Amino acid sequence: MEWTRREFLKATAAAAAFAAAGGGVTRPGEAGATVDREGITWGKAPCRFCGTGCGVLVGVKDGRIVATKGDPAAPVNKGLNCVKGYFLSRILYGKDRLTTPLIRKGDKFEEASWDEAMELIARKFKESIAKYGPDSVAIYGSGQWTVFEGYAASKLFKGGIGTNNVEPNARLCMASAVTGFMSTFASDEPMGCYDDLDLGDTYFLWGANMAECHPVLFSRLIDNRLRNPNVRIIDIATRWTRTSQMADQYVPFRPQTDLALLNAIAHVIVKEKLYDEEFIKKHVVFKRGKEKIGYGLEEHSRLFVDDPKPMTFDEYRKFLEPYTPEHVAKLSGVPAATIVELARLYADRGRKVCSLWTMGFNQHTRGTWVNNLAYNVHLLTGKICRPGENPMSLTGQPSACGTAREVGTFTHRLPADMLVTNEEHRKKTAEIWGVPADRIPAKPSLHTTEMFRALDRGDLKVLWVQVTNPFQSAPNLNRFRKGARKGGDRFIIVSDIYPTRSTELADVILPSASWVEKTGMFGNAERRTQHWFQLVNPPGEARNDLWQTLELARRLGHGNLFPYKDVEKEMWEEYRRFGLGQGKDLAPYEAYHAARGLRWPVVDGKETRWRYAEGFDPYVKAGEQIKFYKNKKDEGRAVIWARPYEPAAEAPDPSYPFWLCTGRVLEHWHTGTMTGRVPELKRAAGDAVAELHPDDARRIGVRNGDRVKLTSRRGSLTLPCSIGGRGKSERGSVFVAFFDEAKLVNDLCLDAFCPISGEPDYKKCAVKVEKG
């Protein structure tokens, strides 16, 4: 039975009333909940997987999820799900679900009560803080944290314990997007939205395999092309994928040379005077930052702060002079004529251009720079802040934007783009949190890679991991897995729903509630904040991560930080105070109950589709046209950065002659903790493979399915090879997905990172490939 919108709104309003009255689960017959003819109660929620933020309807019967389906009223996906989304009802019901706390006793784990587990955890925290200070403890969370969970973790550690040792795994996937946005616009997250996928006609995909990693969004591009024969999709990538198959043009380039390519495109635009001179005069300034800034490979690598120097347009023009199409063709392997063609396509006044990227840009030793360079092309041509023409970084986790970025669960951040290094920001935060102004440390502490280095060194003593699997997903994994079990005063807590490669290294394992087993809010890649109510109970003694954090706060003597009775509502209303009047406005809690998400800033009850543009953004006044109002230092202008090409931190050589790239496949999400429990998805893609170019396979002497051994300077891995499968690596390259917990490809990865963002480069390191 399909519901009308009126029936659905009525049901969700009933759910809201029930929850406000103290209930947690909507069941038939309670609070007037509507039930279909099969006895199934339906509720809305965002999908649990990627940062797209698809809306789903969740069917519950007898206290169990029995069905899910795409929500036709959800504007993101309009009823469509990807293959992972269609199996959402199965992700919570694996046979090995964690249901009771576990405490390590030697090489085994023994069941314990929540009181025993939390008392042990609190004691370890107290002992470490007393002996070594607040910076000896840390929490490592995720873009899968709900807004409530991330906010509570940040408030406890920064405002209670007094350490900035708070990091999310979004440092591994979105940090370069953050520093790119902040350095160019002084505000994080995009000016555009998903509507651009329906309205543009030229789409440059930079290292983004959207067909597999963002399939619902890619379907909107394809639908746009079916309706509009003028639409062109250009796939600029280092490997041929299912996206390449669907694109109008595939442009392969050598790893790391995207920096040179974007400068060459800008070179052509400037040389041929294809830029928008009026837009540049009104809305842009030019700057140059530090160069030759290293790759973060040294120990104790703190986040680098750029040192911008102003430039003139003529100085920028001179900076671009070496990046001729002919020179960059030699670097990148992209023909000079193709570079010119791409530049002219970007600048064509008759076409609406969007640039889209994911980890190809972000997981990059110059991730901040390459994000800046993409914005440069849009700013030069004035193709920005308008319907159908915008740059956009796509996210990989359901709340990497809402929780990691907007809440500010990075070591250097506070909510609403504020920074711990800014005294006024710390004062405002302290006032809202009700803590002394000097409680929040004035310096960032450990970013993710350095956090795990510190654990290995022994500088970090107690680490609590929530909603993520770092001992499968971290770079240079061999080192960090060994470091976790070195003993001494090290103590690791892992909260999760299933056994993982991280829980096996823990001292305490806490069973968590997941997804609709709790009430939550996520923020997706287009600034859309979405809410859902708890629909079923978690199994056994599992409890949500918010409860776990608040329980630790109480046992550490910081319970006063969380005086809430109606926890989620009161916490939300406190949190939204940070963004009001700052261009980060969020709506009151109740506004999200029935809505399929609202894109911030939300002012006077209206969401914002396009930021910085007159007629769309409430902060842009009549006559201002476009105003990058967050960048007060540059009087409301965006920055075009002179960012040079620099080689990769590690490149192939005679001993290690191949590039290794890691990534995702359609059927699995990240480390496969949830999708690996779905038999249908496991059968579709059961094991990771090494994807080789046919010419390389012939040279090595292997056929499809033969075993090959990959070796880097950090580790080795043997697995089957794939030749001519779903993707095809370019000559001299090999690709391996990282979902397979039996094949830890990150053992091979280098922990080099962008020194501005702290994001590691999973896309480029050197390996040798031999017969297995």
CA distance linking residue 345 with residue 472, whole number of Å: 41
165 is in an annotated binding site: no
336/670 Cα distance (integer angstroms): 37
- 670 labeled part of a ligand binding site: yes
Which residue is catalytic, options 70, 118, 287, 397? 397
Euclidean distance between CA atoms 292 and 600, whole angstroms: 37
Tell me: is residue 169 an annotated ligand-binding position. Answer: yes
469 annotated to bind ligand = yes
E strand intervals along 16-145: 41-46, 55-61, 64-70, 102-105, 108-111, 137-141
Q: What is the dihedral of CA 318, 324, 327, 328, to 10 degrees?
A: 100
Distance CA(409)–CA(287), nearest Å, equals 29
Is 740 assigned a ligand-binding role in the annotation? no
Binding site annotation covers 256?
Answer: yes
Determine whether the annotation assigns residue 378 to a binding site: no
311 included as an active-site residue: no
Tell whether residue 239 is among the known ligand binding residues: no
To the question of whether residue 663 is assigned a binding role by annotation, the answer is: yes
Catalytic entry in 296, 367, 388, 396: 396
Q: Bridge-partner residues for 386, per DSSP?
A: 389
> Is 131 among the catalytic positions?
no
Ligand-binding site membership of 545 (annotated): yes
Please give the distance of CA 654 from its chain centroid, rounded to a whole number: 35
Would you say 292 is a known binding-site residue? no
Angle CA 549–552–556, to nearest 5: 140
Confirm whether residue 669 is marked as ligand binding: yes
The span from the CA of 8 to the CA of 122, in Å, is 44
Distance CA 642, CA 593 (A): 45
- The answer to whether the annotation marks 558 as part of a ligand binding site is no
662 annotated ligand binder: yes
CA distances from 631 to 187, 303, 428, 455 (A): 7, 22, 19, 37
Of the residues 55, 118, 159, 174, which is catalytic? 174
Is residue 411 annotated as involved in ligand binding? no
Catalytic member of 173, 311, 354, 521 = 173
| Residue 318 labelled as part of a binding site | no
Residue 390 marked as a ligand binder: no
DSSP state, 247?
S
Beta strand 137-141 pairing with 309-311: unpaired
Closest CA to 712 of 752, 665, 756: 752
Phi-psi region of 506 (alpha: psi -120 to 50; beta: other; left: phi over 0): beta
Is position 751 annotated in a ligand binding site?
no
In the residue annotation, 118 being an active-site residue is answered as no
523 within 8 A of 586, measured Cβ to Cβ: no
**664 is known to lie in a ligand binding site:** yes
Query: Which entry of 84, 428, 461, 743 is annotated as an active-site residue?
Result: 84
Q: Using CA atoms, how far apart are residues 668 and 691, in angstroms rounded to an integer?
A: 17
The answer to whether 385 is annotated as binding is: no
Residue 84 among the catalytic residues: yes
The residues annotated with a catalytic role in the active site are 84, 173-174, 359, 396-397
Residue stretches of the annotated binding site for substrate: 738
Residue stretches of the annotated binding site: 47, 50, 54, 82, 84, 144, 169, 173, 256-258, 359, 363, 469, 495-496, 518, 545, 662-671, 738, 746, 763
Residue stretches of the annotated binding site for [4Fe-4S] cluster: 47, 50, 54, 82
